[in-house]
Structure 1
C-alpha cells in the first residue's frame, strides 16, 4: 500500500466519513480555509491513481468512493510505525506513551482489561 501525504490522508478521512463524495462535497467537509476546487480534484485523481479511490461518472461529474478501507489503512500505517520506531514491539510502543505521560495508569489498566477480554 502506498504512503499518503498529510493532505491526502486528510481528504481520505473526509471520504471515509462520507462514504462517497463529489469534489464539492469533500470541500464542504474540509476545514477552513477551504482549498480550491482544482486542488481537491487533483488530489482525488491522485488518490485514485494510488488505488485508494474509484469513481462513478454522472454526466461528466465524478463521484468518488473509497476502495481501501479506513481500518485497512490504519493497520498498515500502524504496523509501519511499530516497525520503524518501536522495533516491532507493542511493549516498547506502550512504554513510550507511558513515559511521555500520554497514557495514564488507569488507561493502561483499561487497556489490559480490553486485551484480556479480546483473548477470551
Structure 2
C-alpha cells in the first residue's frame, strides 16, 4: 500500500467520517483556512488513482467513498512508523512515548492492563 501525503490523509479522514460525500461536503469539514474546491477535488482524484477512494455518479456529480478501511491504513501506518523510527520494536516505541508524554505510573499500569486484555482476547 502506498503511503499517503498529509493532505491525502486529511481528505481520507473526512471521507472515513462521512462514509460517502461530494467534494463540497468534504470541503465543509476542512479547517480554516479552507483549501480551494479544486484542490480538494484534485486530491480526491489522486486518491482514486491510488485505489483508496471510489466514486459513484449521482446525476451530474460524483459521490466519493473510501475503499481503504481506516483500520487497515492505521495498521499499515503504525507498522511503517515502528519500522522507520524504532528499529521494528514496539517496546522501543512504547518506551519513547512513555518518556515523551511523561506518563504516570498509573497510566503505564493502565496501558499494560489494556495490552494484557487485548492479548488475552486474541
Q: Same fold by TM-score, threshold 0.5 exceeded?
A: yes
Q: What SS is found at the alignment partner of 2:43?
A: helix
Q: What SS is found at the alignment partner of 2:57?
A: strand
Q: What SS is found at the alignment partner of 2:47?
A: helix
The alpha-carbon deviation at position 60 of structure 1 amounts to 2.5
**RMSD (Å), alpha carbons:** 1.1
> Which segments of 5 or more consecutive residues in structure 2 lack a partner in the other structure?
none
How many correspondences in the alignment? 120
Show CA shifts across 1:51-82 (max 9, x none): 11000001221100000011100100000000
1:6-17 matches, cutoff 5 A: 6-17=6-17
Q: What SS is found at the alignment partner of 1:51?
A: coil
Give the TM-score, by structure 2 length: 0.93
Give the TM-score, by structure 1 length: 0.94
| Distance in 2 (alpha carbons) for counterparts of 1:40 and 1:30 | 10
Structure 1 residue runs of 4 or more that deviate by more than 4 Å after TM superposition: none
1:17-32 matches, cutoff 5 A: 17-32=17-32
| Distance in 2 (alpha carbons) for counterparts of 1:47 and 1:89 | 30
